[in-house]
Structure 1
Amino acid sequence: MQPIYLTVGLHPLMIIPDRASHAKGAAESTHTYYVYRHQPGSNDNEKGDYIGRLVFEIPDKLFDYFPEGPHPLESGEASELVEHLSHYRESSGYRSGN
């Protein structure tokens, strides 16, 4: 999966979707995203500081943010991230079952 770049508050972030596969090789809808603080000018191989993972339990309704690292997102920033990713999932045909 390609990284997703976006800004939450004043923080540029790089989001790495975790896309699982079924035994038959068909891709499954992503529900887990790994969140990194992105350093402008760095490339995809330089992930930056890992600040946690976001898991959509029920898309657009229930999510959990698991903060990690020295500077995780605050609750308002996590909510803003959910809004951005929900929009991304809707606009890119990323819905469950697609």
Structure 2
Amino acid sequence: MSIFYLTIDKKLSLKIVPETRVYMDGHPILTHSYSLYRQTESDDVKIIVSEDDEKKQANPNYLGYITFEIPGRVFHYIADGQEDLPAEEIELIVEQITYYRDRPDLWNKAHIQ
């Protein structure tokens, strides 16, 4: 899986960064954690995909991450970024990530709505 973009309620554009992009036997492995960033043109992709938590948390567009314990049913939002997202927006984001996770044909496309 690669970085993908989504828009919530036409006012919140997000960059979603899967925490794992490992391939086993030529097949992508689904990740369980996704970092959330406001979508901007100025973000440095090298910092965004960095595993350094301090770099992520210093990014003013970083909004925390979502971890799926049981995909589609149990998840946790950790608001360790610059701003907390309301529960309603998190639920919409989880729905969109679940939609994306369930459709491998979208994994190489840049934007979903």
- Give your verdict on TM over 0.5: yes
Separation of aligned partners in 2, 1:86 and 1:66? 17
Deviations 1:76-96 (A, max 9, x none): 0000000001111112269xx
Q: Is 1:6–2:18 an aligned residue pair? A: no
Separation of aligned partners in 2, 1:20 and 1:38? 20
Residue matched to 2:84 = 72
Residue matched to 2:109 = none
Separation of aligned partners in 1, 2:93 and 2:44? 20
Letter in 1 for 2:2: Q
Q: Is the 8 A contact 2:79 2:85 kept in 1?
A: yes
The structure with the greater share of residues assigned to helix is: 2
Q: CA RMSD in A?
A: 2.4
1:20 Cα shift? Answer: 6.2
TM-score (norm 1): 0.76
Return 5+ residue gaps in structure 1 as ranges: none
Separation of aligned partners in 1, 2:36 and 2:8? 11
Which of 84, 89, 98 in structure 2 is aligned with 1:86?
A: 98
Separation of aligned partners in 2, 1:43 and 1:68? 18
Q: Is the 8 A contact 1:51 1:71 kept in 2?
A: yes
The residue matched to 1:29 in structure 2 has which SS? Answer: coil
Separation of aligned partners in 1, 2:33 and 2:16? 10
Spell out the pairing of 1:50-61 with structure 2 (5 A cutoff).
Answer: 50-61=62-73
Taking only the aligned residue pairs, the percentage that are identical comes to 32
1:42 Cα shift? Answer: 4.3
Letter in 1 for 2:3: P
Higher relative contact order (CA 8 A, sep 6+): 2
Aligned length: 90
Return 5+ residue gaps in structure 2 as ranges: 49-58, 107-113
